[in-house]
Structure formats: C-alpha cells, structure tokens
C-alpha cells in the first residue's frame, strides 16, 4: 500500500513537472545499486570486463547505503553491475536490505552464477524480481555477443529453474534482449523463446553513451541504419499480431527504429532519470545512465545530496533531456505520454499495421 501511494505520488508529481511546473522537485523512489563494475562475461557491447574496477564499496558501506535508502522510503532497490553475483557478499547485502527496509528487491544478472543453490539463497534473502539477459535466441548468437561459449546453455538452464519457482514464491521474471546490428534478425525467435518461458520480454536498445558501455568500438554495433532493422521490426509486429503474449507494446517496438537514428529523442522526457537514484560501485551518486555522478556516499549522506540545488537542477535537466540521450528504459519513458498511447490504440484498432515513426 505504501509503495502504491508513493509511486502514485511520484508519477502525479512528474506529470505536473512535465506539463505545468518545470521546477517542481520530484525525488527518486527507486535506487539502482551497482554492487560491482566487474564481470565474468565479455560482452562485445560492454566495457565492464575490459578493466578491473578497484576499491568498490565494502559490505559495511553498502549496508549503510541500504539503511539510508530505507530511511528515505525508497520503494525498490535494484541490485546490478557489472555482474552483482560476482560479489561473495551480494546475498548478505540483499538480506540486510530485506531486514532493514520494506523495499521490493530486484536483481539484474547474466545468470551464469545463478545455480539452484544461489537462487534458493537469494529468494530466502528477499529477492522477488529478476531480469535475466539474453542477447540471442540461439546459442550461436548469444555466446558470440556475450563472449563466452556455453553461456546461452547455462543462462537458459538457470532461467528455467527460476521459472519453476515463479508461482511458489511470487517471482517477477523478465528476459532482456539488447537490440544491435548483430542480433536484430533474432527478435522474432527471441519473442517465441520468451513466450515458451511465459516471461515478459524487454527489448533494450544498444548505446555507447552509458557509462558502462563507452568506447571500445561499441558504437559500430549501433550502426543499424539499414533496411534490415525495419524488416526485423515489422516481422516482430507481424508475429505480435498473432501472438501478443509477453511482448512489449506496439509503441515500444516502434521506438527501437527511432533510437538507431537518434539516441536523444528529445521530445520524449526521461522518467527513468528522475525515478532512479544511481549508486555506483565506488560510492558515486547521481546523474543517470549516461550523465556522470556528482556526489559520493563516502563524503556525504544521501539525504543531504537530495537537498542540494545541484541535485535538483540536474534532475530537471535530465528529465527534459538536456542530456546526450541513451534510450535507457524507453518503455517506462513512454508510459504516460499521449503520442505512444494513441499509437497503441491505433494498432489495436488495426489502423496501424507496420512500424510507424514515433518521435524521430
Ligand atoms: C550492464 S548489464 C548488468 C547486469 C548483468 N551483468 C547482465 O548482463 O544482465 C545490464 C544490461 O545492459 C545491457 N547492455 C550491455 N551492453 C549494452 C549497450 N552497449 N547498450 C545498451 N545495453 C547494453 C545488457 O544486455 C544487460 O541486459
Ligand atoms: S552486459 Fe552484463 S554480462 Fe555483459 S559484460 Fe556487461 S555487465 Fe557483464
Ligand atoms: S535519456 Fe538522457 S536523461 Fe535519460 S538516462 Fe539517458 S542520458 Fe540520462
């Protein structure tokens, strides 16, 4: 109940900020906790594994961060990375969050280390929501993108075990597929795989702007300005017409095509940046997926950061897309926007049959 009230307050305030009062201070209610920037895979899209990140927050420092977020009434804590499960103390930190806060606990993972024993431990520690990444519908594609032979088999096996436990523990499971030049031809197969697993599928969009994904020729993977993407998106829409279950909304699929022409999409404000407080692995706080943080938990309490003009101004700038753009969580950003809602209605009515340009 408290979560629903807090989220309703957040989205109502954001609507006021969007349409009536730009300067309204709307505080984040979800935290993105990067337990580590290190990783056990070598995804071609990602910079995490290319160097070692030292001096990350200790167990005690993370517990203190969690305590502060609990006191501030955050409704959801997303544990992520890098690969969060690489940390031996991940379960201990999560259990602490379960004991000290009433937040929903979520984990993003490549699922390589998510053995049956680890899954049991995490569920007992309070995790009720998992995003697992699949960057291909086949072993060949997934292993190529993820840089490790055998990764697909392991991730699928571990995800299958989660699916078995879903009803008993009320788990919320989601499969995440990052669309790029290499794998766009597998979107329909990926949709079928998610439908077989009865798991909602999210199509993330490749970017080289986010702090984890900068440099290293990642930009080349995003060069998908050709006919191939349009064909792949329309094939996905055709599949969705017959089998809509577990797939994103029409407008969300349309956005993928727009993103690869212009990552900013200025006309669409960024709810994501306003919703989430980012806490990085070495304690830096603030910014968003592509805008660098300006504070640190090693220097200041989180409450004090939220009170500063700098934090409030940055939140407003990011919400109105005075940023580089990155496409992160575009589905959320479109949730309360008039144009996507209208597009979805026209698709449902059968008036729109193929992908339409949304904002580009
Ligand atoms: C950085 S990972 C962290 C969690 C975990 N290691 C995993 O792979 O699921 C989070 C998500 O970012 C996605 N990702 C990786 N490289 C990306 C890029 N260049 N642009 C957009 N998303 C990317 C991954 O596919 C994954 O779903
Ligand atoms: S996308 Fe995830 S699994 Fe892949 S290298 Fe980056 S952090 Fe690791
Ligand atoms: S779209 Fe802009 S504000 Fe939103 S997360 Fe990306 S860079 Fe940040």
The total number of structural domains that make up the chain: 1
Question: For a substitution probing ligand 3, which of 210, 266, 276, 291 has the most ligand atoms within 8 Å of its CB?
Answer: 291
Beta bridge partners of 296: 284
- Domain annotation covers residue 104: yes
| pLDDT tens-digit series, residues 61-73 | 999 999 999 999 9
- Domain annotation covers residue 136: yes
- Which atom of ligand 2 approaches the CA of 45 most closely? 1
| Cα-to-chain-centroid distance, residue 302 | 22
Q: In what order do the strands lie in the sheet with 104-109?
A: 201-205, 172-179, 127-133, 104-109, 76-81, 30-36, 276-279, 284-285, 295-296
Residue 308 carries which DSSP code?
S
Nearest Cα to 173, choosing from 127, 131, 225, 118?
131
How would residue 214 be classed by pLDDT, with cut points 50, 70 and 90? confident
Mean pLDDT over 266-272 rounds to 97
- Domain annotation covers residue 22: no
- CATH number of the domain residue 142 falls in: 3.20.20.70
Mean pLDDT over 234-261 rounds to 97
Verify whether ligand 2 is closer than 6 Å to residue 85 (CB atom): no
Mean pLDDT of the chain: 95
The yes-or-no verdict on residue 18 having pLDDT over 70 is yes
Verify whether ligand 2 is closer than 6 Å to residue 145 (CB atom): no
Q: Residue 265 C-alpha to ligand 3 middle, in angstroms? A: 10
How would residue 350 be classed by pLDDT, with cut points 50, 70 and 90? very high
- Which atom of ligand 3 approaches the CA of 207 most closely? 6
Domain hosting 100: range is: 27-348
Q: Minimum mean pLDDT among 113-122, 205-214, 260-269: which range?
A: 205-214
Q: Which pLDDT score is estimated for 211?
A: 82
Question: For a substitution probing ligand 3, which of 325, 329, 331, 335 has the most ligand atoms within 8 Å of its CB?
Answer: 325
Nearest residue by C-alpha to atom 17 in ligand 1: 45
- Which atom of ligand 1 approaches the CA of 81 most closely? 3
Give the residue with greater pLDDT, 218 vs 247: 247
Question: For a substitution probing ligand 1, which of 43, 220, 288 has the most ligand atoms within 8 Å of its CB?
Answer: 43
Percentage of residues in the chain having pLDDT higher than 90: 92
Verify whether ligand 2 is closer than 6 Å to residue 248 (CB atom): no
Nearest residue by C-alpha to atom 22 in ligand 1: 206
| Phi, psi (deg, nearest 5) at residue 299 | -120, -20
- Which atom of ligand 3 approaches the CA of 333 most closely? 4
Question: For a substitution probing ligand 2, which of 110, 132, 146, 154 has the most ligand atoms within 8 Å of its CB?
Answer: 110
| CB-neighbour burial class of residue 356 (10 A; exposed 0-12, middle 13-18, buried 19+) | middle
- Domain annotation covers residue 305: yes
Q: Which pLDDT score is estimated for 1?
A: 84
Verify whether ligand 1 is closer than 6 Å to residue 213 (CB atom): yes
- Domain annotation covers residue 14: no
Q: What is the dihedral of CA 234, 237, 242, 245, to 10 degrees?
A: 150
Please state, in angstroms and as integers, the Cα–Cα distance from residue 244 to each residue in 51, 200, 318, 348, following that order: 41, 11, 33, 11
Q: In this structure, how many other beta carbons lie within 10 angstroms of the beta carbon of residue 195?
A: 17
- Domain annotation covers residue 123: yes
How would residue 230 be classed by pLDDT, with cut points 50, 70 and 90? very high
- Domain annotation covers residue 201: yes
Long-range contacts of 346-353 (CB under 8 A, 24+ apart): 347/250, 347/251, 348/250, 352/250, 353/237
Give the residue with greater pLDDT, 45 vs 211: 45
| pLDDT tens-digit series, residues 292-332 | 999 999 999 999 999 999 999 999 999 999 999 999 999 99
User: Backbone dihedral region of 27: left (phi > 0), alpha (psi from -120 to 50 degrees) or beta?
Assistant: beta
- Domain annotation covers residue 102: yes
Angle at 100 between CA 98 and CA 103, to 5 degrees: 55
Q: Which pLDDT score is estimated for 220?
A: 67
Verify whether ligand 1 is closer than 6 Å to residue 284 (CB atom): no
């Amino acid at each position: 109940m408290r979560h629903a009230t807090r989220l309703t307050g957040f989205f109502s305030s954001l609507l006021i900020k969007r349409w009536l009062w730009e300067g309204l201070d709307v505080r984040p209610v979800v935290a993105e906790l990067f337990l580590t920037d290190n990783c056990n895979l070598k995804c071609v899209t990602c910079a995490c594994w290319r160097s070692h990140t030292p001096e990350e927050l200790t167990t005690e420092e993370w517990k203190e961060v969690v305590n502060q977020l609990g006191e501030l009434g955050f409704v959801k804590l997303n544990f992520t990375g890098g690969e969060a499960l690489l940390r031996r103390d991940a379960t201990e930190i999560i259990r602490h969050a379960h004991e000290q806060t009433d937040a929903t606990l979520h984990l993003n993972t490549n699922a390589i280390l998510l053995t049956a024993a680890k899954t049991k431990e995490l569920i007992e520690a309070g995790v009720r929501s998992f995003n697992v990444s699949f960057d291909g519908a086949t072993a060949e594609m997934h292993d190529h993108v993820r840089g490790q032979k055998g990764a697909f088999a392991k991730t699928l096996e571990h995800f299958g075990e989660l699916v078995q436990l879903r009803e008993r523990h009320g788990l919320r499971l989601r499969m995440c597929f990052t669309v790029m030049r290499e794998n766009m031809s597998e979107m329909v197969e990926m949709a079928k795989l998610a439908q077989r697993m009865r798991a909602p599928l999210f199509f993330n969009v490749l970017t080289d702007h986010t702090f984890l994904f900068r440099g290293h020729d990642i930009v080349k993977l995003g060069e998908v300005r050709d006919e191939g993407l349009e064909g792949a998106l329309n094939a996905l829409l055709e599949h969705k017409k017959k089998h809509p279950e577990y797939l994103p909304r029409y407008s969300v699929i349309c956005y993928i095509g727009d993103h690869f022409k212009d990552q900013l999409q200025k006309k669409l404000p960024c709810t994501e940046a306003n919703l989430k407080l980012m806490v990085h692995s070495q304690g830096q706080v603030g910014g968003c997926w592509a805008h660098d943080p300006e504070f640190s938990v090693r220097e200041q309490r989180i409450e004090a950061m939220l009170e500063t003009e700098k934090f409030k101004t940055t939140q407003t700038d990011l919400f109105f897309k005075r940023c580089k753009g990155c496409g992160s969580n575009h589905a959320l950003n479109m949730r309360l926007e008039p144009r996507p809602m209208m597009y979805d209605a026209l698709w449902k009515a059968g008036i729109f049959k193929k992908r339409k340009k949304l904002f580009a």
